[in-house]
Structure 1
Amino acid sequence: MKFSEFKVGQRYETAAITLSKEDIMRFAEMYDPQYMHLDEEKAKKGRFGGLIASGMQTLNVSFRLWIDVGIYGEHIIAGTGMNQLQFLKPVYPGDELHVIAEVIELRPRRAGNGTVTVLLSTYNQKGQNVFRAELSALVDN
């Protein structure tokens, strides 16, 4: 979509994705090698009662689901920021995640371009909000 086509309050829902234990461990091995993501026995004794996904993985999956909706299409120029990142609940193996994105701010810029800010809210299969963040992108007109 072009910048001029966005309206504050527009909402979009993504497809869902299920994270397997293997997905969680593969990501953690590469990017976040902490026990709560890799060591099942130690994780069982920890605060969350088992393996959980890295917050960074939850962020990446949420972003991917949003981009896959295709709203920006060819009109996106670049991401400009992420604010208010919140990891609200742990994500466990087998959790199915989907995202609701809401346009919360539009800032016109020169030449008709503008910054679109969306609030990404990620939910699991129980309807629990597990992640939330504001993402901004420069979008062409």
Structure 2
Amino acid sequence: MKKIFLALALIVLATPAFCQTDKEDIKKTITTMFDAMRKGDSTMLKATFADGIAFQGLKPTADGSYTLENENPAGFIKSVGTPHKEVYDERITFGDIKVDGSLASVWTPYKFYLGDKFSHCGIDFFQLMKTKAGWKIIYIIDTRRKDNCPE
């Protein structure tokens, strides 16, 4: 009986460690994506994305509402990899990370700078999948505004 109790206790104690490892690996994938943006490295950027990644954005309109805009991931990758004068510096903080098996969702408030100049802020929301090669981003949607920035 003691052996069964000990085995169950080890399983229960080890389960959060596996989840924490996943969360750290998920953070690493997202951090690598933003490092690639700062470096202007499209190869490094593309390595964080799964095939078929989807990009969307909520764009503010003049009347205060938002429109949903589908974006082209290939265009984004090309933009990052094309030499540009200012560094694309998106500064995030990790909010809620949820993991269920091979699916994860991540909420990250951000502030975007072109070089040292503030451009806009909002929320990035990521969906990731666990592959044999590690966690890959499958979906990104964001909000964009110039004020009322998240902390």
Q: What is the TM-score of this pair, normalised by structure 2?
A: 0.30
Which of structures 1 and 2 has the larger relative contact order (alpha carbons within 8 angstroms, sep 6+)?
A: 1
Give the number of the structure whose alpha-carbon radius of gyration is greater. Answer: 2
